[in-house]
Amino acid sequence: MKRVSRSTWDALLVPRRCVCGHPLVLNDLLSSSISPSSARASISTISRSSTHNTVRSSLKPRASRPFHTSTSLGVVPKLLPTQSAKLAALHGRLNLPNKFPLTTLGRALIDPTAEPQHHLNNDSLAHLGNVLLGYYTSEFLIVQYPRLPYEILKAAMSGYVSSKALSAIGKEWGVEAAFAPGETVDPGLLQFSRLAPGTPFMTANTNGGLFNMQRKRGSMVPNFENNPTAEKILDSEAPEMQEIWQRQRQSGKTPDAVPLEHAMANFVRSAVGGVYLHAGGLPAAKEFVHAHILGRKLDIDKLFMFEQPTRELSRLCVREGFQQPIARLEKETGRYSRHAVFIVGVYSGEEKLGEGQGSSLPEAKIKAAISALKGWYLYSPITGADLPSKTDGNPTAPFTPAVIDVGDVVS
């Protein structure tokens, strides 16, 4: 299969054929203002002056010639980005402004595995969009939930901007993937080299560290190079996964094939980067991210997993100067039946911290402690504080600082 060529993004640089079949360069006609009759005369003159060798050389396959925007190509693409109905429909569904060109949206649909030239694929746009997504997602979560533990914060960010989450967003946008990249593929389709089923795949960032690897609870060290926690997780992987990762880290090259999830996520990141470049900078990118990504519902309370909730609650009360928590039985029914239900409340002095129910007293006590810890960690200011990005477009805008917490409890 031929590599993707995007040498004809600009319709003015696309050659056409005259009636006799000889190539016709539109640049020569557009550069001078002539009448239609003289234009037809010029066409016939160019056609008669073309020799047999010139015609044969102009009909070479495009893959045998380098990319030059000014070179007159004898093979006309089947469809241009500005003529693709799929691309125009995607542009409208995303509510992109007219300043966002279709050519950039078409470039965002080309993965580096389909086109290795960086000025033709979405590699740079995806890196830019990834930085913007991390910035807006982290500030949104930190301001909205200032007491959120670091591990839960990372898990929540993955719930919003991980490859799996962004891939689902791209599919909801109606983006379809081509079976294989090629010159005759519609520019409105996602083009990438597919990874064979069953092949292990691991991505890497530019620093050689692990990217989007699940972190273990209690590890507060980021996933950078020479990270013992990351190396320990990698050692637990299958041998073929370790071999692929070591080969990718040593070569530092882009993988030859990627799964659909990874390619779709890169397109969403590229769309965010394109909005930043063409639609108005940081304010437009922030509005786009909040509308399409952060506007989705994520149950953060389901991300918690406490190992010793009663002990952690006790340590929290000591740190904050509260009275030691006491569990009290509030209600019960069917104590001697097969379906007993106990409701236990956890109190610090006269203040009720949480409540839980279970089929036994220890279970209800643990659930009450978990409820109290979630109530503390999921605290959100009543009067919403301003996001730090509020002053990006206007440094003099009034700004209300967010709450800064001392951090999660280390039990």
Q: What's the rounded Cα separation, in Å, for the pair 76 and 21?
A: 12
What's the domain count of the chain? 3
pLDDT for residue 157: 93
For residue 397, name the pLDDT band (cuts at 50, 70, 90): confident
pLDDT, residue 323, reads 93
Q: Is residue 393 within 8 Å of 380, Cβ to Cβ?
A: no
Residue 99 has pLDDT above 60, yes or no: yes
Q: Are 183 and 2 a contacting pair, CB within 8 Å?
A: yes
Note whether 283 and 321 are same-domain residues.
no
In a domain? residue 404:
no
More confident call, 90 vs 17: 90
Residue 359 has pLDDT above 90, yes or no: yes
pLDDT at 400: 82
Answer whether residue 390 is part of any domain: no
Q: Quick check: 372 and 325 in contact, CB under 8 A? A: yes
Residue with token string 């005259």 = 18
Same-domain pairing of 43 and 133: no
CATH (domain of 334): 3.30.160.20
- Beta-sheet strands, E only, within 282-367: 326-333, 341-348, 351-358
Q: What is the CA radius of gyration of the chain?
A: 29
Q: Is the pLDDT of residue 345 over 90?
A: yes
Q: Which of 407, 409, 410 is nearest to 147 (CA)?
A: 407
Kindly state whether residue 284 falls inside one of the protein's structural domains.
Answer: yes
Count of alpha carbons within 13 Å of 397, Cβ hemisphere only? 13
In a domain, 391, yes or no: no
pLDDT (0 to 100) of residue 90: 93
Q: From start to end of 84-222, where are the E strands?
A: none
Inside any domain, residue 3: no
Evaluate whether residue 25 is within a structural domain: yes
Query: Does residue 270 share a domain with residue 162?
Result: yes
Are residues 86 and 46 part of one domain?
Answer: no
Residue 192 located in a structural domain: yes
Whether 252 and 322 map to the same domain: the answer is no
Dist CA 53 CA 58 (whole Å): 9
Percent of the chain with pLDDT over 90: 45
140-172 per-position pLDDT tens digit: 999 999 999 998 999 999 999 999 999 999 999
Identify the weakest region by mean pLDDT among 152-166, 188-202, 313-327: 188-202
Query: Does the pLDDT of residue 407 top 70, yes or no?
Result: yes
Domain co-membership, 111 together with 256 = yes
pLDDT in the model for residue 325 = 94
pLDDT at 253: 56
Cα–Cα distance, 149 to 319 (Å, whole number)? 15
At 135, phi and psi to the nearest 5?
A: -65, -50
Return the pLDDT at 81. Answer: 74
The residue range of the domain holding 340 is 304-377
> In Å, how far are 157, 301, 355 from 365, measured between CA atoms?
31, 18, 8
Q: Which segments of 293-351 does DSSP mark as H helices, in order?
A: 309-320
pLDDT of amino acid 125: 94
Confidence check: pLDDT of 53 > 50: no
What pLDDT, on the 0 to 100 scale, is given for residue 404? 83
pLDDT in tens, 252-272: 555 678 889 999 999 999 999
136 and 230: one domain?
A: yes
The larger pLDDT score, comparing residue 346 to residue 229, is at 346
- 279-310 pLDDT, tens digit per residue, is 888 999 999 999 999 999 999 999 999 989 99
Predicted pLDDT at 180 = 86
User: Final residue of a domain: which of 48, 77, 106?
Assistant: 77
User: Residue 238 is part of a domain; what is its CATH number?
Assistant: 1.10.1520.10
pLDDT of residue 232: 61
Q: Token pair of 147, please? A: 């007491």
3-state helix, strand, coil split of the chain in percent (to 5) is: 45, 10, 45
* Domain assignment present for 387: no
Q: What is the per-residue pLDDT for 406?
A: 82
State the pLDDT confidence band at 361, using cuts at 50, 70 and 90: very high
Among 33, 60, 77, where does a domain finish?
A: 77
Would you say 248 and 187 are in contact if contact means Cβ atoms under 8 Å apart? no
Span 364-383, pLDDT tens digits: 999 999 999 999 999 988 77
The number of beta carbons lying within 10 Å of the beta carbon of residue 104 is: 20
Tokens of 96: 């992109």
pLDDT of residue 408: 79
The answer on 261 and 207 residing in a single domain is: yes
Indicate whether 166 and 212 sit together in one domain: yes
pLDDT for the residue numbered 231: 61
Question: 245 and 132 share a domain?
Answer: yes
Give the pLDDT confidence score for residue 275 in this predicted structure: 95
Q: How high is the mean pLDDT of the chain?
A: 76
Which residue, of 300, 322, 338, is where some domain finishes? 300
Torsion angle, alpha carbons of 241, 128, 184, 114, to 10: -30
User: pLDDT digit string (tens) for 174-191?
Assistant: 999 988 888 888 888 999
Q: Which two tokens stand for residue 135?
A: 């910035």
pLDDT at 186: 87
Pair 154, 244 in one domain:
yes
Residues 233 and 316 in one domain: no
